[in-house]
Amino acid sequence: MQTNNFGAAPASSGLRLDQLPDNQWATVLDVARPEGADDRDLVLRLTEIGFVPGEAVRIVASGLPGREPLAVRLGHTTFALRRHEAALIHVAPGVPEGTRHG
């Protein structure tokens, strides 16, 4: 299997962040490139706050009912994301060797 520059599998073999089990570390592979203008602005915001390839991420808590919203740990910051927002972020379970996370 080929890997990207971050040692993670391509997005096609990953999963969406909203599918990741709570408290499991993962590596961001990419952020989807949607067609709609609203979602394009959302993707820009997600990348600006740090959801970029190679970053370690995990869901630290999820709301009820329906896991909405998701509390997502990225670096030393926790963000609340709607499931729709988290679904745009593709991840691979696990983190690259040498990655520091807390």
> What pLDDT, on a 0 to 100 scale, did the predictor assign at position 16?
97
Per-residue confidence (pLDDT) for residue 40, from 0 to 100: 84
Domain boundaries, the chain: 11-93
pLDDT over threshold 50, residue 8: no
Select 11-93's CATH number: 1.10.8.420, 2.60.40.1890, 2.30.30.90, 3.30.300.30.
2.30.30.90
pLDDT in tens, 47-100: 999 999 999 999 999 998 888 999 999 988 999 999 999 999 999 999 866 665
Per-position b or e across 3-32, b if 16+ CB within 10 A of its CB: eeebebbebeebeebbebeeeebbbbbbbe
Q: Is the pLDDT at 30 greater than 70, yes or no?
A: yes
